[in-house]
Chains A and B, each alone.
Chain A
Amino acid sequence: MSSDLVQVRTGVYHDSVSLMRVSQAVTGLPGVEVAVVAMATELNLGIAAELGFELPPAGPADLLVAVRAADPGAADLAAAELDRLLSGLAARTGSPAAAEHPPRTVRAAARLVADPGAAGAGGGPSTGAAGPGEGPQGTPSPAGASGGAALVLVSVPGPYAFAEAMDALDAGLSVMIFSDNVPVEQEVLLKRRASELGLLVMGPDCGTAVVGGAGLGFANVLRPGPVGVVAASGTGAQQVTCLLDLAGVGVGHVLGVGGRDLSAEVGGLSTLRALDALDADPATELIVLISKPPAPEVADAVLQAAGKLSTPVVTAFLGPGRDDLTAAAESVLRALKTEPPAWPSWPAAGEDGRTAAGAATGRLRGIYSGGTLCTEARLVAGTGEFTDYGDDEYTRGRAHPMIDPALRLEALAAVPPGDVALLDVVLGHGADPDPSARLAPAITAAVSRGVPVVVALVGTEGDPQGLAAQARALSAAGARVFASNAQAARHAARLAGAPVPVRSTR
């Protein structure tokens, strides 16, 4: 007889990623069958109800705890561990100055950055002026002008992102919106306002950015250098910049603009602004523009604007019959008078040459976490069945596959013998701290089942996980590993016996 523990805690808020980690930890306790620890949104209440929990009334501002344990004793232990984990979350703070009274909105935080005296009781003398954005002339003044360049990273749930992003612009700060599910009309409004104010909106649904050496979102550790990137595609930018890093070429800034920026509705507002800003940046010598296929009229406008810049621009619009990302990285290297190297790859353990092209007879199964990488692999391979587990469809109510590989592990285990599995593994800040730890056993199991596994490993040696260390672990598990996603896709397609159009990426 199992024992259900259901609680609604009011006045407690934690973000969904943090709570998913707590749910996972509690689910992993002995005697616990399932645990849902989540804000009581309609979606989460639905998930808990489907699991058969009896739920009291609750709203999105309440924390829902629903634990099913084997017996009341296990439920009590789970409750105690849950309290410990939640208090650990509550104890987290960002800056020590703001620890005691953390700001509740981006607006208040921007005020704090502009006037650090506002944080402590004994702060400096008051200027007598109103907060940022409230100067006598009513013009926003850039916060943090005195102590470096401030920007705002917003990753609250999509329906609430607009308010925080608008705060940033009102305070004279550029903003990266990591959140997805932001209505497109709000995106257009924010980007128009940013253009008027000379600011930049990165996103919504912007997964990666590098600004002045700081990696935001899912970001690789790149050597500093002369290349500036404008990207409407997160993992596309990560692939190109990681290959440049491997070739010894550094990157100054990666400005994500969000996947919809080059749509007809948004009209490339942020792309145009980002191009302009990189052109004005004295340290940027070459600009790379990366996107999935843009709306044709927007592509024309953007290309025209790019042509007018004083900084050369290399364009990589991914699409049928166009260059893949690896080829784009090579174009960048050539533009910088650098000969592209042979991109690293690592043989699978036990690979002896006979498992070469056509060894398998089944289909190619692409099991991806990166949207652009998935699209690229599908285009390059020209065959097979591809799933992007980073798509909204798979991330509702669970963490992104770059953080939580559970769904991809299930998919890999389900590949029938004879088929070929192709996976991406993306390293960097924000991503799984050791992705090979959970993937390796699954890869070994697949290989021993007769499923060849090919991995596109996107990362750098500077990443916290370390490119070579991850590559070694994955190849030791039996995967063939490529630093180039296009090469991995080509290799996997050949293994699956597909006639791959030979297309030099050298």
Chain B
Amino acid sequence: MTLPMLSGEPHVITAGADLLGEALDAQAVPRVRVDWRPPMPGTEDHLARVLADPRRAAANVRAAGRLTSARPQLVAVRPAHEVLELPPGTFLHAGPPIDWERASGPMRGALIGAMLLEGLAADAQEAGKLLAAGRARLDSCHHHRTVGPMAGVVSPSMWMFEVHDAEHGGTAYCSLNEGLGKVLRYGAYGPEVIERLRWMGEVLGPALRATLELTGPLDLRSLIAQALQMGDELHNRNRAATSLLVRELAPAVVEAAPGHAAEVLRFVNGNDHFFLNPGMAACKVSADAARDIPGSTMVVAMARNGTDFGVQVSGLGDRWFTGPAGVPDGLYLGAYGPADANPDIGDSTITETAGLGGFAMAAAPAIVRFVGGDVSDAVAATRSMYEITLAEHPAYQIPGLGFRGTPVGVDVTLVARTGLLPTVNTGIAGRVAGTGQVGAGLVSPPASAFTAALAALADAVPIG
């Protein structure tokens, strides 16, 4: 059997002692130098076991293949009580599971708001008491094929985007985006917040439902691909995607809801982030297609509840691996500053999980005005993510990088080996319940979430 390296001019990749690389340079042998460094401390044995797992390579090919071949389509807008098992008094929230005791300010604020919206408490004080007494049931959105930005609180009367994966058959949900400023997802629960949510339930939701019935399924894969080429990264910048969505829906909105068309379109058009939520559902349905592949080391969810940052891994089922959520580093609105910031919160890291957001920064140079830094930082952020991902997205491409696909499919072993953590773009919620948004920026997940997942992967490697 022939060995390819024995024919043709040699080309060498070197990792390790520079002396040996220099010896090749002296012979004019072309080479690529690996800038190698030791892995995260304490991971050597786990890495050796996981990398030796004979299932790993094929499992990751399959996981990355399913994630990148998903074809998310927006098929409907429906009330949560219709599509989710959500009996009264049950609320979904962002991130890994958490109870009231450990919940941060914005999470508590959003839960209070949801209690008020559902008519389960007369005022905020009563709502807080009931929640503290354990009178509401809390569960993670991710346990219900659902994602929610920031606090991510979902209650039965809220309306949801329903996204279907035309390739693998999955379904995922995300609530409707309320806009910026004082909004429930940032922990605000004042009268204007509740009033807006009521209008969304009475007018916006039904109008969009009727609209989708007219248009039929909307191809989100193609819409996201276009938005990337128009300067969005689909997490903190959704201006192009929202504009494209309006272009797709506007005529049908007019036909489906003539009485409310102007206010509906004005609302959608007035919120650059309106597409964030259907985009998140698209990412969720894609990532879910890659779940439960034994041996796969690919991350299928990254999510924060304002206290913990958690990851889920394809080969490890529904287990969460968590570490403390960090405080984002970024720019602040008005007089707010870092002291007002809550630790990282929200399921919107599903965009990074699916190769968008912080991973697609290079596609969105305008984002640096919003999260701080230079354009070169945005390019460097995307480049470094190729180091820790399994694939490049075939449809989501970055014009500025020669139409290279976005880095997608975080591999826990590569995170441990390189010490590079996923780059996450995020909004910043005020730490006091009821405040709302105070800024936007970048945040690093805790390394411990990934090393814990790696240890569990090592334990899951079959013996022999």
Contacts and interface: CB of A to CB of B under 8 A. Distances in A.
Contact of A159 (B30, B44, B60, B384): B44
A266 B386 CA distance: 35
A67 interface: no
A59 B41 contact: yes
Contacts of A95: 30-33
B397 interface: yes
Interface string B403-415: 1110000000110
A107 interface: yes
Contact of A163 (B41, B48, B403): B48
Interface stretch (B2-10, B102-110, B113-121, B199-207): B2-10
Contacts of A321: none
Interface stretch (B62-70, B148-156, B228-236, B323-331): B62-70
A214 B25 CA distance: 10
20 contacts: A18-B17, A18-B18, A61-B38, A95-B33, A104-B37, A112-B32, A113-B32, A125-B402, A134-B61, A134-B391, A149-B9, A150-B13, A151-B11, A153-B14, A159-B44, A166-B52, A183-B48, A198-B1, A215-B23, A276-B1
Contacts of B391: 130-131, 134
Given A16-B17, A113-B11, A160-B44, A280 B32 contact: no
Interface in A72-101: 89, 92-95, 98, 101
Contacts of A159: 44
A397 interface: no
B101 interface: no
Nearest to B386: A108
A259 interface: no
A160 B392 CA distance: 26
A160 B413 CA distance: 13
Interface string A123-142: 11110111101111010001
Given A174-B5, A212-B5, A105 B33 contact: no
B32 A94 contact: yes
Interface in B184-215: none
Contacts of A430: 19-20, 23
Contacts of B5: 149-151, 173-174, 200, 211-212
A154 B16 contact: yes
Of all A-B residue pairs in the complex, the 9 with the closest CB atoms, nearest first, are A94-B33, A155-B16, A277-B3, A102-B35, A429-B23, A148-B9, A130-B391, A138-B61, A123-B402
A152 interface: yes
Contacts of A4: none
Nearest to A166: B51
B182 interface: no
Nearest to A103: B34
A212 B28 CA distance: 13
Contacts of A155: 14-17, 20
A375 interface: no
Nearest to A129: B394
A60 interface: yes
A138 B17 contact: no
Contact of A144 (B11, B15, B44): B11
A105 B31 contact: no
A126 B16 contact: no
Interface in A212-240: 212-217, 219
Given A128-B405, A138-B57, A211-B6, A178 B420 contact: no
B387 A126 contact: no
A110 B387 CA distance: 11
B62 A138 contact: yes
Interface string B48-89: 100110000110111011001000000000000000000000
A199 B4 CA distance: 8
Contacts of B8: 148-149, 212
Nearest to A200: B3
A214 B37 contact: no
A153 to B, nearest CB: 5
Contacts of A211: 5-6, 10
A154 B36 CA distance: 10
A227 to B, nearest CB: 14
A126 B402 CA distance: 7
Given A104-B34, A148-B11, A280 B3 contact: yes
B11 A142 contact: no
Interface in A460-503: 464
Interface string A43-61: 0000000000000000111
